[in-house]
Amino acid sequence: MKAIVVTNNLKVKQRYDKEHNVRFIDGSLLDVLTAVRDRIHEGHKLLTHPLAGSVKPNETPYRSILISYDKNDLDLDSLLMISSSIETVQKFLNIKKPIEWKEKILEDFMEIDLDLISSGIESMLQ
């Protein structure tokens, strides 16, 4: 199955850019979710949960999400899930503003996100 990886994580882009269709978003986690929502409106479908992992949305700046390569009719389940995820992130950001992490910790967050999306890609290919 072909998929698109929507990400703001340079490590994910570097790792998967040659193998998969990667859409790099030069922005925040919320920007990634918004870009995915826009793609869902175009007919793409979510293949991984937008808030996968145990790191809170106001703690990590990185997010990678798999969506279908092919477009179909609007998938309401995907739209509801991404809309709910956007609301959740906004709620977390209103509670506590994102921390300005040191470079080493940002690298760790990139690795966590890379591991999560790698697992999703591996599952998709099986």
pLDDT grade, residue 108 (50/70/90)? very high
- Is the distance from CB of 29 to CB of 89 less than 8 angstroms? yes
Which pLDDT score is estimated for 105?
A: 95
CA 102 from centre of chain: 22
What is the band of 55 on the pLDDT scale with cuts at 50, 70, 90? confident
Indicate the domain borders of the chain: 3-125
Write the pLDDT tens digit of every residue in 18-45.
889 999 999 999 999 999 999 999 999 9
Asked if 67 contacts 94 with a C-beta cutoff of 8 angstroms, the reply is no
In this prediction, what percent of the chain has a pLDDT beyond 90?
A: 79
Residue 99: pLDDT band (50, 70, 90) is confident
Tokens of 4: 């698109």
Can you say whether residue 53 is alpha, beta or left, with left for phi > 0 and alpha for psi between -120 and 50 degrees? left
**pLDDT band, very low/low/confident/very high, at 59 (cuts 50, 70, 90):** confident
Q: Has residue 112 got a pLDDT over 80?
A: yes
